[in-house]
Structure 1
Amino acid sequence: MMKMVEIAVPTNLHIKPTLTFNPSASISTWNLRKKPRETTKRKLVAVFASISSSSSSSSSHDTIGEELWPRSELCGSNKEKRASKKRVFFLDVNPLCYAGSTPSLHSFAHWISLFFSQVSLTDPVIAVLDGDGGSEHRRQLLPSYKAHRRKFSRKSSAPKKYPAERSHVVMDVLTKCNVPVVKIEGHEADDVVATLAGQVLQNGHKVVIASPDKDFKQLISEDVQIVLPIAELNRWSFYTLKHYISQYNCDPCSDLSLRCIMGDEVDGVPGIQNVAPGFGRKTALKLLKKHGSLQNLLDAAAVRTVGKQYAQDALTKHSDYLRRNYEILALRRDVDVQLKEEWLVERDRCNDSIILSNFFKLLEQSKRPAYQSSHNVSVKQTVGLKTNSLATGMVKTTAPYARELQERDYETKRGHIS
């Protein structure tokens, strides 16, 4: 039976701040006055055909390419109605606790202070952590799943008890800032967020997921958006459906199917090109644009020719390979967790200043190497190295993309979602 650990939000807890906290103090920032070179804007493409409704009767993982939740709940047609919906933030905590590939409470403190002061403000926030043994199901299907992360963990010079200690400290800080914390034994935070996000949508609210994890891009819609921690800009920046289509030239409904075909190097999931050389992204996009989802594509390939011979052979001979990738990469929506009404109320910010100020003071007094501040290291050292970016999934932007984020920074300052 799954064990759920919840840290209840303290009620009627008011502490008069005695310290002034400046979240941007002593932080190395990107020179925003530098203007990156011009690049040709990528053309938007038509949205792919929606996933066939004929498969809606099967369970969430019986049919490949099934939508995470009904599209009618995701994409409304009334823009004014969408704008009036309440925003509910989900905070993916674990990736924020690393500076590059090193555990860092300074990194967590820095990003959480910016998040509270510039992004979520008084909107409801639900923090989610990885549960113990959360990746075991996927590792049983594919031993290489996130294997490099386990390898790094074994070689890490950090004290063995540090991860548990970090988790305890993080949960304590979030609770004192009036943020409920959810941690489900046997489940990754991604799956818990996907499950709770569906319940929030059913309540008629918008969902904003605060995380650098690319896995959440499969959930993007008109009512589901992501806010990314961009180290190069030293701020959070919203990432919307419009940005996704412009960047990838495909619709998020096809994101999961595309990743199943192409694989995920960061998570150790091999793509079909490993067994069928020549089957690349261009071929995958063309086939998915025509058939809509991986399930529809595999069904069609089983009864007729869907493309060139090499593609046809790959889809018929390696269909089990692709189905396994789907089982691994698809976010689950059946975690045993229920949304609580008290999680949807406005967050009381009265404690933020003193709690975070005291937290930073405590970290500065610590001499442990694992607590090394991320802002004492240059931005390039922190996120510029390819190995560090791959190890944690932290966002690594190119100059043109950084410029695009700068152009919409005003949205973050105002707390708006375009």
Structure 2
Amino acid sequence: MLAAMSASLNSSPQATVVARGRGDACPGTLRLHSADDGALARIRIPGGVLTTAQALALADVATRLGDGDLHLTSRGNVQVRGLEGGCGGELAASLEAAGLLPSATHERVRNIVASPLSGLDGGGRFDVRPWLGDLDSRLCASASARSLSGRFLFALDDGRGDVAALGADVTVRAADGGAELALGAHREALLVSERDAPRAALVAAQTFLEAVSASDARVWRIAELPLNGAEFLELARTRLAAAGIVHEGRSRDRSYTPGPPPGAIGDSLCVHIPLGRLSAGQWRRLAGLAAGELRLTPWRGVVLPTSAPPTDEVLAGVAADGLVVDPASPWPRVGACIGSPGCAKSRADVRADAAASLPAVGARGLPLYWSGCERRCGHPPGDRVDVVAVAEGGYRLSTAVAGQDTPATTMPGPSALAAALAAITP
């Protein structure tokens, strides 16, 4: 199989190799990243699902070892910053005791997003939670999966189309007659049975690793492979057949919906976290409202299953704590990297500037992402306005919209945001 795969890779007229000049430096729990504000740990939370006990353990870690804050990522994971050197062993022991480190050899590859309201609001086709537990267990048990990049992403969508829009490498979406397996951005998908879906997702990831090995290229994601989507799909079909997984081709479902808005949804409370950062105290108070678990969303929010519909008093209390429960708030449309002083490469305190400019954002339009430099770390997928700090001071604004030219303008500071937005958006 590998010989045929290598021939396919080398012959593809559409292949564009994206070669990485160094190994995958994506941080984890056991591989910390050095930043200007101390070491950083990224703790993978598959599907964003935490028990309240695990959430409280994270708050304890952030308070005892870090800067006291928890940072939510665009994949529903948690980062702890400001860690002191030499605390790695204590950090790992605390997380393992909380059940957040089931496999030391797989901790960076447990990148799974899942529809956060699945099984809670009556939406979607069925609850994807059984898929989540099955896929995570299979990942941790697979020797080959240890070689996946920390950037390789799985998405489990209950059919509503929320996490299916996030550009995952392997997307499993509930569908009529089973589950739709989509690979990268390819327009075709494979229908497998609901029961086989987690195993098929792992087989797809293993096919990616075989393709990487055959191409002798250093790539981290399916889109970077030196072969086109149709060729990779055929490789996956061969691998699925060898694993005894029945499948058939179909057009990929391209209907998408946004993530849950802030506010009460049935017996759940959806809370948006401005810029994804909250104190350990705010985190503990949210955990106190949850009925057993918290679900972190890829949109830097938290879904709290509750024992009864959240009251106006509960909503008012969360809002008074500086968090967002108003669906009309502009905050869900605003994101930012860590910026200064946390990152040496950042040219500005982008978080302070994003907060200062919030009144100019409005409730509608493209989301805005503020970056301290051209790397745009943590930027969301999809259409947006990029607000990037420039070396000479101020910011450069440009639209990132698929299939359109990119107008751009500059602004001296956050007070000029409204005028700058008017210059580049209809």
TM-score by length of 2: 0.25
Richer in strand (by share): 2
Higher relative contact order (CA 8 A, sep 6+): 1
TM-score by length of 1: 0.26
